[in-house]
């Protein structure tokens, strides 16, 4: 029993560390290539004339 428990703990730690090392690439994969932080796909007109601007958002009905 004196040797069994430390060897079991050592095996569990070794197995867990090997599993973590094998899974690190899956943890780091956040699909960063599809994230566009600069919003390049929007044109300048889309940014300036946003539908959420107060001048565009608070229009009376029936006017354009």
CB distance 57 to 51 below 8 Å: yes
pLDDT at residue 38 is higher than 70: no
* pLDDT level of residue 40 (50, 70, 90 thresholds): low
Does residue 15 surpass a pLDDT of 90?
Answer: yes
Per-residue burial over 45-55, b if 16 or more Cβ lie within 10 Å, else e, is eeeeeeeeeee
Q: Which is more confidently placed, 17 or 1?
A: 17
Compute the half-sphere exposure of residue 44: CA atoms within 13 Å on the CB side of its CA: 0
pLDDT bracket for residue 30 (50, 70, 90)? low
For residue 24, the model assigns a pLDDT of 84
Q: How many angstroms separate the CA atoms of 7 and 2, rounded?
A: 9
- Cα–Cα dist 14/11, whole Å: 5
């Amino acid at each position: 029993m004196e040797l069994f428990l430390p060897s079991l703990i050592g095996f569990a730690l070794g197995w867990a560390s090997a599993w973590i090392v094998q899974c690190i690439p899956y943890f780091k994969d956040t699909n960063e290539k599809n994230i566009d932080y600069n919003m390049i796909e929007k044109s300048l007109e889309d940014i300036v004339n946003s539908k959420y601007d107060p001048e565009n958002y608070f229009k009376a009905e029936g006017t354009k």
